[in-house]
Structure formats: C-alpha cells, structure tokens
Structure 1
Amino acid sequence: MPGNSFGHSFRITTWGESHGKALGVVVDGVPAGLELSEEDVQKDLDRRRPGQSEVSTPRSESDSVEILSGVIDGITTGMPVSMMVWNKNAKSSAYDYIKNIPRPGHADLAYTEKYGIRDHRGGGRSSGRETIGRVAGGAVARKLLSQKGIEVFAHVIKLGGVKAKPLSFEEIRSNVDSNVVRCADPQAAEKMLEQVNKARSEGDSIGGIVEIIATGVPAGLGEPVFGKLDADIACAMMGIGAVKGVEIGAGFECAGMKGSQMNDPIILNNGKVTPSNNNAGGITGGISTGMPVVCRIAVKPTPSISKSQKSVDMAEMKEIDVEIHGRHDPTIPPRMVPVAESMMALVLADHMIRSERIGPDSLL
C-alpha cells in the first residue's frame, strides 16, 4: 500500500493501525546537530491524545513516545529518526458487529473496493489515530523551525455554527489551550461547547473550521509552478482525515471580491518593500512573501454517530440500519489543532531545507 510517506527533503513515513500493537513514524532528512528529546515530542502528542477532555473520545491512552533511532545523547545524527507509540487501551471487540458492514461517512467501503479487505478494528489506517505519526514528525519539524524563529499555531474559529471573533496573533497564542474546544475567543468557546454537548445528547456530531498560522516565515519559500508552497500546504491539509476543504488567505471569499479589494498594496516599511495587507495569506505565485502564512481547513462532523443510518451487510448483501458503537469524538476540530499545526510545520521545514535555509551548518 503506497501513499504512507509525505515530503521531499524532509520526509515522514507513518505506520501502524488504530487497534494494532503500535503506531509510529520514520522521519528522514533531519539535519545532524539538532537537540531533540522524547519530551520535545511528547508535549505535542499530549495535545493530540484521546481522553483528554469532555469533547474527545473516552478512549484513554498515554501515547508515550519512544525514540528508537537517529538520536544520540539528545542530538540528532542526521540518520532517520524513528519513533513509536504503543496502543494500550484498544477495545477491538466493539467493532466485531460491523466487520462486514461499511460505516456511512467512513473509508470502509472505499478500502474494501480498493484492497478487497479492510481492518474493521477502529478503521485501521483510516482512523484518526494514524495522526500520531504526523504529530510526532511535526514536533521534529517544529523544533527545526524554531531555530529560525518560525512559529506555527492553530485554533478553532467555527464549531457547530458558532463563529469566533477575530483576534490578534498574541491573543490566539495565549488563549487557544485555555478551553477544551481550543477556541481563543472565550465567549464563543462556551457556546461551541454547548453545541458539542447538544449533538452528543442527540447521538450526533458537529464539524467546524480550524485556522492555522505560521509567523516568521521568510520570503522566497516555494517554487513558481509545481512545488508551490500553497499547493503543498493544501496537499498536507487535505491529506488529514475529515478535512473536506482548504483555503489560503482570503480563500473562498476572494471569489466575491474585486481586484482592487483582493490585491495587497505594496509599500515601503522601514526601507523594506512589503505587502501592507495579507489577503494572499503570505503566499503569491506559490512563493512566500514574508507575511504570516494563513490557512483554514473545513473539518466534517465525526462520521461515527449513534443515530441509525443506512448501510449494507456485505456478507448477506442486504440493506440494513446500523448504529455505531464504540468510543468516538463528538467533534473533531479541537483535536485537529495539533495535527494541522504539525502538517504546516512539516511543509515549512521541507521547504526550508530544500531552499537551504536549514541544514547542518545552521545547527552545529
């Protein structure tokens, strides 16, 4: 099964299933000389792990990471960094009743059509638990980017129809982890939580929008035709399960704007030529402008719901009504935040290395 690797000069390969023995990632292209510890990775995995709040699945996993290779005495060697997390709280029997029943909204039917077989235990590779490898690899990328003053952060801006008010970058950084829905607007966060609880009580789920921001990104990252920075970001974000839409900067709103509104005026700022606005989201012509990179992703409602839905028993080839049991998130965006941050960091680290902005000489 191809398609388990992402990146070019900085590349991750994730492995493992939701209910298998373990999951992990191999990160290739990490420059030698980077200080890296399990604690560096664990703090991001802790933000992603299940069972951490009332808006996540009750499955309880510590998701403790082990670095298996590529690091000696806390310093990367330039060899592949391999990391692993053991599954300890899987309850696979909860999925036995749907072994032959594809769940609506899941990848079950598509996997069966493609491979003729699927791992019915929590969805296998199509489970959100696969993102453990992405977040672990993203933690390494984030550590690399910090050497150049690049910071990546994300927050939920819409959930269950409730929209957060616009906030400054500093307000977002300070407030995003202060509540369980990871919305930096406290008033909106309370209303979002009400919508989550309402959906859960009805046996349903809700979706939302996550905004991802990268500051300190230098001008000149990305290629002019293929390998555009925004194209690679879009690919990274759409590659996350449950993401159904991506926009950069003004995004879909630009379709209703005039050129005079959309274009970012170019000015002199302390002797430096720079855009004065950022409708472009920090990228024009596929190349970073030096402005903050801004991306938003639309995340669908969790497909595992307890409401009755139509499906087919493929063993008996008859239509049936199915209710999904097991432990599931009533909404995905809050736990999507560290995953989206990681995918942005992976893209930026890759482009920084490809443009020789990060390398062994800059670390040692």
Structure 2
Amino acid sequence: MSGNTLGNLFAVTNFGESHGPAIGCVIDGCPPGMPLSEADIQPELDRRRPGTSKFVTQRNEADQVEILSGVYQGLTTGTPICLLIRNTDQRSKDYGDIAQSFRPGHADYTYWRKYGVRDPRGGGRSSARLTAPTVAAGAVARKWLKERHGTTFHGCMTHVGELAIGFEGWEHVPNNPFFAPVADVSAIEDYMNALRKRGDSCGARLRVTARHMPVGLGEPIYDRLDADIAHALMGLNAVKGVEIGDGFASVAHQGSAHGDSLLPGGTFESNRDGGVLGGISTGQDLEVAIAIKPTSSILVPRASLNTEGQPVEVITKGRHDPCVGIRATPIAEALLALVVMEHALRHRAQCGDVAVPAGFGAAAP
C-alpha cells in the first residue's frame, strides 16, 4: 500500500529522503550467481550525478554506491541486495523560507494534505534525488538482461522546451551534458543560458529504447508490458505523459498503413507499435517517449498559500535543475530495464518451456 516498491519477482524498494543521511534501495529477487560489484553500478550513477555541468543543479554529490548485502565473493546470492548512497552535500537552510508555504507545481501541498506532515528540505521523498537508487537498481537489471538476452538500453533527449533536437546518432549522446543525439549542442546551450538568466525552467521530451528484446514478455490483460512501462515511467518525477511506439501520432494514421506487417523469419516491416502487441513484446526494439514538465523550483515569484491558508509569494532559492529532463535519461533507461527484468523473470517462471515453431526465430529463453 505504501507505494515504495516496484516489481514483484524483481522487487525494488526505495528508501531515504533528499536531505537525510543516506538514500538507497533493496532489490529482492535478483537471480543468484551473477558477478556483481560496485564497479558494475557506479558508471550509471555517474551519468545521473548532479553537479556535472552548469546546466544542472550544483549540488555536489559523489553518489558512491555501497553494496551492503546480497553479494558474496563477487556473486549474487539470491538474497536481498541492499544498495546505499550517502548524502554528503545537504544545504537544508536553503528551504527555510518555504517550510511553511507551498511551491506551485511541487508536491509540497499534496504531501502535507495526505500525511499531515512534510519534509521541506529539498522536497524530502518527493525529490528527484530519490531517483539515484532507481538508477542503481536498474544497473543490476541491465547487467542480467545483457548477459542473459543481449538486451541493451539507450535514451536521448529529443526536445528541450520548444526546441526540437534532431537525431544524428546514438554515439553523440555520451559527449554532451544534455544526452542529445547530435554533434553540435550550441543551440541547446544558448537556450538553457537564456532560461537560467531569467530564473525560469522548461520541460523536455525523451526517447528511450530497448534493443535485442526477447519475444513474449508481458502478462495480459492487466499486467501488459506496455501498461507496466507506462506505470513505471509515470513514477518518475515530473513525467506527465508516456508514449509507446507512434503513440498519439497513431490517431492520424489509417489501419492500412499503421499495422506492422509480418515478414518471413518472424520479423516486421515497421515498428509503429513500439515493440508491443496485445501487451506482449514482439522482439522488436521497445520504443518509448516521455514528456517531462518544467522544474517547479524557480526564482520567478509566484502566488501561493502558507500552512495557515494565507496568500504568500513564493521564490524558491537553492540549487535546482532548470530542466529536470536533462538528467532524466539514465533514470528512464533504468526504469525501462526494471520493467523488462520483471517480465523476463515472469516469462521464465510461466512459459520457459513453451516450444517455438520453426521459422519464427527464438522466444525468450
């Protein structure tokens, strides 16, 4: 009921607060015998880490992960894996001015109304800081999926604010702070610099894909693969929309053109459905897009209320991302990996011995 756990067979429980002593997660259900160390997880955390450029929050966290349990002599044991990330650069005084008021667009009001109490320091549990354990857990899932199925995950930014970003190639994504798939990011830099000078923020659109997907993942009718993807990605801070395949553009298509025609060998002519049919993976690449709203913590004055119900003007000081979508790509990749991992284990449990007819390739092993 508490909403802090994602998954059932590969269950990830997230804990901690933005300005508490530490954050982390417990992974229950990781298969035993997989080589695992901090070095397998840290590179993904480094991709998400704050303070890596002037375009993101300047909170200086090393985000060094510690494995506290579930690994013995370098191998997973099948028991719960506890991952810990210590907070080292809290500045709780930055939030003194808003402790008794509510930031428009933020979770302050809803947390207070639901629980009767809230932690205003960096947003407490509602902070994007809590996505670091998600990325750590995703790294474990990514390792197992790559070793078992060859599945890999890739993401990029396709829009920042009203600025569309073209696609030149995945090789450009690691080479700039925006996870943009283009060689020249000067236009994005100019856009973000102007935004920062105004003390304002913007939203973003991201693309996430999974390659070399197994066929047959998904549990219709209520645990469809695409439904669980949407569920997980809507759990990412500030996400307001999720598309699978052509998504909302499908409205303008005609059935004669939209359907992904089957070809010999169990391949497809197109991938407008984003790798999912009837809630089950087709073996094509999973194609997902998410819409992220503008950062709610900004320097522009806005009208709000305090805890006494009186009108106040809110200006949020501190260290905040002018666009939370900039660092969201590794998080979205991790969430997609966690969903695929969950469904890979479900498929292995129920349908691992299903025979595949000749001429249709291989099903999920």
Shorter-chain TM-score range:
over 0.9
Contact 1:211 1:296 in 2 (8 A): yes
Contact 2:167 2:181 in 1 (8 A): no
Cα-to-partner distance string for 1:105-164 (whole Å, 9 max, x where unaligned): 100000011001000101000000010110111010011111120000100011121212
Query: Partners in 1 of 2:67 and 2:233 — Cα distance?
Result: 26
Contact 2:275 2:286 in 1 (8 A): yes
1:227 and 2:223 aligned: yes
Partner of 1:181: 178
Letter of the 1:337 counterpart:
T
Query: Partners in 2 of 1:27 and 1:35 — Cα distance?
Result: 15
C-alpha deviation, 1:274, in angstroms: 2.0
Partner of 1:143: 143
- CA pair 34-307 structure 1, distance change in 2 beyond 3 A: same
1:250 and 2:246 aligned: yes
C-alpha deviation, 1:206, in angstroms: 1.1
Partner of 1:27: 27
1:355 and 2:356 aligned: no
Letter of the 1:196 counterpart:
M
Contact 1:176 1:182 in 2 (8 A): yes
Q: Paired residues, what number?
A: 349
C-alpha deviation, 1:357, in angstroms: 7.9
Partner of 1:287: 280
1:192 and 2:221 aligned: no
Query: Partners in 2 of 1:318 and 1:9 — Cα distance?
Result: 47
Shift >6 Å, 4+ stretches = none
RMSD: 1.3
Contact 2:23 2:133 in 1 (8 A): yes
Q: Which SS does the other structure have where 1:35 is aligned? A: coil
C-alpha deviation, 1:180, in angstroms: 1.0
Partner of 2:206: 210
Partner of 1:362: none
Cα-to-partner distance string for 1:60-115 (whole Å, 9 max, x where unaligned): 01011110000011110000000101111000011011111011110000001100
C-alpha deviation, 1:165, in angstroms: 2.1
C-alpha deviation, 1:348, in angstroms: 0.5
Contact 2:15 2:24 in 1 (8 A): yes
Query: Partners in 2 of 1:95 and 1:109 — Cα distance?
Result: 15
Cα-to-partner distance string for 1:164-188 (whole Å, 9 max, x where unaligned): 2244xxx21x11111111101223x
Q: Which runs of 5+ in 1 are unaligned?
A: 359-364
Q: Could you tell me the TM-score, scaled by structure 1's length?
A: 0.94
Query: Partners in 1 of 2:313 and 2:325 — Cα distance?
Result: 28
Partner of 1:159: 160
Letter of the 2:152 counterpart:
E
Letter of the 1:352 counterpart:
A
Q: Could you tell me the TM-score, scaled by structure 2's length?
A: 0.94
Cα-to-partner distance string for 1:187-245 (whole Å, 9 max, x where unaligned): 3x321222111111001011110100000101111022111000000001001011000
Contact 1:160 1:196 in 2 (8 A): no
